Structure 1
Amino acid sequence: MRWRDAFRTGTDLAVVGFAVLLAALPLVTAGAALLTASRAIGRYLETDSWPPGRLLWADFRRSLLPGLAASAVFVVVAGLIVLDVLALRSGRVPGGPPAMAAVAVAGLLIAGLSGLALVIGPRAALRLAGERPGTLAGAAAVASVALTLAVLIHPVLIPVLLGHTMFAMHVLASRVPQRSPA
């Protein structure tokens, strides 16, 4: 890949991140925006071209209900993790730093699993995590780097980070050998 191709891909992914941000502003459309962007990135990796706008719009409309359900599950799980951390930090729950470390690792694994589910679907992500735990660990590492960078960079660049993180999850999932039919 020449530097111009890499630059073009990087800028395209930045645009995808900003498009997801704009499409997710009503909040109830966040899941649909992420699903649509993920499918667009998948198509880009397969064909080296982005889908046309009319296909993206149709995919976005089809993804509204499944995306809303996925967003609701994400909010509940993230809320439970935050409650665990707050309870551990306040001392109301015993365990201290070791328990907080365990909750942090569990949170990163859930973030990695969520990233894989966005890319290959929830059932396939669960099956892949069971069959190839190293892939789940890799997805958790991608999520960990993305979360760390999100804290360290200027907030304006977070959409750029989002597009590149979704791309990384797609590349990670594409590196896993496919199961042969039994």
Structure 2
Amino acid sequence: MAEVPRRGAESGPGWPEEPVVAAPRPDWRETLRTASDLALLGIVVALVSLPVVTVGAAVATASAALHTWIETGSWPGLRPVLRDFRRAVIPGILPTVLAGIAAAVLAVNLLALTRGVVPGGVPLIVVTAALTAAAGGFAGLTVVRLGQQGGPGWRDAVRGAAGCVRVRPATLLGTAGTVALATLLCVLILPPLTPILVGYTLFGLHATTRRLAGPTPS
């Protein structure tokens, strides 16, 4: 590792210069391994979510595992992951149903507006699209909070997300943009790669939240 000489704040005549050790950059193998891990994470989440009622548990468990990887540099073992998933199945059913209903209502309204079935024109389309993006961003922020608190506890995650938005409103814009971009890629450009994009979207949500609100938003 290269050492970059730098004079410390207390340095002066007679004081030795303090070397600063530059952090090594990850090589292509580490980058490829990270990309593969995230792709595999997305595929596993998609497969576990096939029964539909397990979507909430799958997302919560994946978010918690991803948070552990971000914090420690290693993924949790299979046994604790399965334990967390079992604990999250029942609490995750209601959030899954509510999220599905909300997504369906917003999607139907947006589709009806764009096709002219419902009057309102461009202004109402813009408002509905903005509400849809905000709802997606808040859902993404809630998923991040679930991971940061270890998986279970949807109410606490929602309260944490709401508190984060009050303190750092830009966080909602960041997570909304992440979800909107992922949705655009899945629907319009890369539908077959949707399972893989799930892992990258989760990582993007965690990275965006840490960037805009810090490691633990409040």
For the pair 1:35 / 2:87, whether they are aligned, the reply is no
| Candidates 34, 50, 69, aligned match of 1:44 | 69
| Candidates 188, 192, 197, aligned match of 1:156 | 192
Q: Provide the residue aligned with 2:133 in structure 1.
A: 108
Aligned positions, number:
181
Q: Name the CA distance, whole Å, in 2 between partners of 1:93 and 1:165.
A: 32
Shift of 1:72: 1.0
Compare 90-99 and 44-53 and name the one that shifted more: 90-99
The 1:45–1:179 alpha-carbon spacing in structure 2 relative to 1, beyond 3 Å, is closer
Q: Provide the residue aligned with 1:145 in structure 2.
A: 181
Q: Name the CA distance, whole Å, in 1 between partners of 2:191 and 2:214.
A: 36
Amino acid in structure 2 at the alignment position of 1:114: A
Shift of 1:156: 2.8
Shift of 1:126: 1.0
Q: Name the CA distance, whole Å, in 1 between partners of 2:196 and 2:64.
A: 17
| Candidates 170, 176, 182, aligned match of 2:206 | 170
What 5-or-longer segments of structure 2 have no aligned partner?
1-25, 146-156
Q: Name the CA distance, whole Å, in 2 between partners of 1:180 and 1:148.
A: 27
Q: Provide the residue aligned with 2:34 in structure 1.
A: 9
CA contact (8 A) 2:174 2:209 kept: no
What 5-or-longer segments of structure 1 have no aligned partner?
none
The structure that has the greater radius of gyration is: 2
After superposition, the CA RMSD in angstroms is 1.9
Identity rate of aligned residues, in percent?
39
Q: Provide the residue aligned with 2:169 in structure 1.
A: 133
Q: Name the CA distance, whole Å, in 2 between partners of 1:85 and 1:154.
A: 21
Q: Provide the residue aligned with 2:100 in structure 1.
A: 75
SS in 2 for 1:28: coil
The 1:91–1:148 alpha-carbon spacing in structure 2 relative to 1, beyond 3 Å, is closer
Amino acid in structure 1 at the alignment position of 2:194: I
Q: Name the CA distance, whole Å, in 1 between partners of 2:217 and 2:198.
A: 32
Q: Provide the residue aligned with 1:96 in structure 2.
A: 121
Greater helix proportion: 1
Structure 2 length-normalised TM: 0.77
Q: Name the CA distance, whole Å, in 2 between partners of 1:32 and 1:180.
A: 22
Structure 1 length-normalised TM: 0.92
Shift of 1:92: 5.1
The 1:156–1:82 alpha-carbon spacing in structure 2 relative to 1, beyond 3 Å, is closer
Amino acid in structure 2 at the alignment position of 1:164: Y
Tell me which of the two structures has the higher relative contact order, counting C-alpha pairs closer than 8 angstroms and 6 or more residues apart: 1
For the pair 1:22 / 2:47, whether they are aligned, the reply is yes
